[in-house]
Chains A and B, each alone.
Chain A
Amino acid sequence: MIESQRHSYHLVDPSPWPISGSLGALATTVGGVMYMHPFQGGATLLSLGLIFILYTMFVWWRDVLRESTLEGHHTKAVQLGLRYGFIPFIVSEVMFLFAFFRASSHSSLAPTVEIGGIWPPKGIGVLDPREIPFLNTPILLSSGAAVTWAHHAILAGKEKRAVYALVATVSLALVFTGFQGMEYYQAPFTISDSIYGSTFFLATGFHGFHVIIGTLFLIICGIRQYLGHLTKEHHVGFEAAAWYWHFVDVVRLFPFVSIYWWGGI
């Protein structure tokens, strides 16, 4: 720092990934619109865009790992900045999901005459909250405990145990996702079935999408822990994944109570 840059921050090298991500996003959005309207080639453009975005994420974050673990650019100041930045990101995700839960409450607290003036709407066969949803909620909560176990293992320098704990976390997460998927498949109602279906699948669907993202993040952390990247002094990536996972965990409680439980009474 003294000889080479005289400050403890990381000024990144020029990189093509921001523009490639933007082009991917452009292709995704335009392709998506084309697909949803009667235009040729929409599906192709949409899939190309999504693949491009995923590729950009892979190479961008691979570069971050290279710059941090392999090149040592992430000093204490940089680590702090990353932590401080990730929190507003999680808050923004909370806002996003909040919108869908609000939509659900908006429709369910004052049900309109078109659905019979009652909630759940007339004719909707709701899922019994005491069955799969009641099982899935503690599965997710246990995975939250497992990720805390992993964190303590990392802090204590028990590297193997940390890998096991992360494997446990991811396994529970995959079981959760599997059960949710099975439930979606077997549900007696679809997304087109009145406002109930729309709000149900959008709220739980986006939550599930975030679970999948969180699971992927934790898998990457598991791989990195196995490779020895994470040390007890420095594991910002893992902390971010754990925070994200706790957010996903806590958010699960809201739809469980308001949509599954209260919404089915």
Chain B
Amino acid sequence: MWRRVVSCSTSAQFQAVGSCRSSPSLNLTRRFLISSASTPSTPPPFQRSPNLSSPASGLKKVEDIMPIATGHEREELQAELQGRDILEVNHPVGPFGTKEAPAIVKSYYDRRIVGCPGVEGEDEHDVVWFWLEKGKPHECPVCSQYFKLEVVGPGGPPDGHH
């Protein structure tokens, strides 16, 4: 399931991949997929979302919610409280990629698997998967969407770091 981040107002705004299809004013924007898991926007069954609305006085700290949190759980909670998505690398957002303004896909390493589902609505096609490499922008063979990799991490080969 993919999360859709729909910004308000004009059609020039970004739109990420989502599971729901309809979007009244933004039906011309395109989207692209990253081959990794992401969290759905509505909580699935059996998952309780913590009430993280900050009090009027200021930002809540992890200690207010769950003092004994540690490790990854703590990281996750902290990011949620700060309102940032800890795995935002996996949720790219943007308009249709062209040669002049390619769709930017972030990656920690020098190459990443990317899937292109085409244009939102009528022009979407079966997902085409490919390796996107640093310095080698890729064009989707079906809809010609243009992708470029942006390395935001240590770089190097993705399988050479264990």
A→B interface (CB under 8 Å): 1-2, 4-10, 69-77, 79-80, 83-84, 228-229, 231, 233-234
Contacts and interface: CB of A to CB of B under 8 A. Distances in A.
B81 to A, nearest CB: 12
A96 B70 CA distance: 39
Contacts of A74: 73
A225 to B, nearest CB: 13
Interface string B23-63: 00000000000001101000010111010000000000000
A76 B86 contact: no
Per CB-CB distance, the 9 closest pairs between chain A and chain B, nearest first, are A72-B71, A72-B70, A72-B73, A83-B46, A75-B76, A233-B66, A71-B71, A80-B47, A231-B66
B6 interface: no
Nearest to B48: A233
B65 interface: yes
A231 B69 CA distance: 9
B36 A234 contact: no
Given A69-B68, A70-B70, A1 B75 contact: yes
B76 to A, nearest CB: 5
A7 B87 contact: yes
A231 B86 contact: no
Most A Cβ at <10 Å: residue of B37, B65, B68: B68
A257 B108 CA distance: 62
Contacts of B36: 7
Contacts of B4: none
Contacts of B65: 233
28 contacts: A1-B72, A1-B75, A1-B87, A2-B75, A2-B86, A4-B72, A6-B87, A6-B89, A7-B87, A8-B37, A8-B72, A8-B86, A8-B87, A9-B37, A72-B69, A72-B70, A72-B72, A72-B75, A77-B37, A79-B47, A83-B46, A231-B66, A233-B48, A233-B50, A233-B65, A233-B66, A234-B69, A234-B73
Judged by DSSP, the binding face of B is: loop
B1 to A, nearest CB: 12
Judged by DSSP, the binding face of A is: loop
A2 B86 CA distance: 7
Contacts of A71: 70-71
A72 B68 CA distance: 9
A57 B80 CA distance: 35
Contact of A231 (B37, B68, B108): B68
Contacts of B69: 72, 231, 234
Contacts of B87: 1-2, 6-8
Contacts of A76: 39, 47, 76
Given A5-B72, A8-B76, A69-B68, 9 more contacts: A1-B76, A1-B87, A8-B37, A10-B72, A70-B70, A72-B70, A75-B72, A84-B46, A233-B50
B3 interface: no
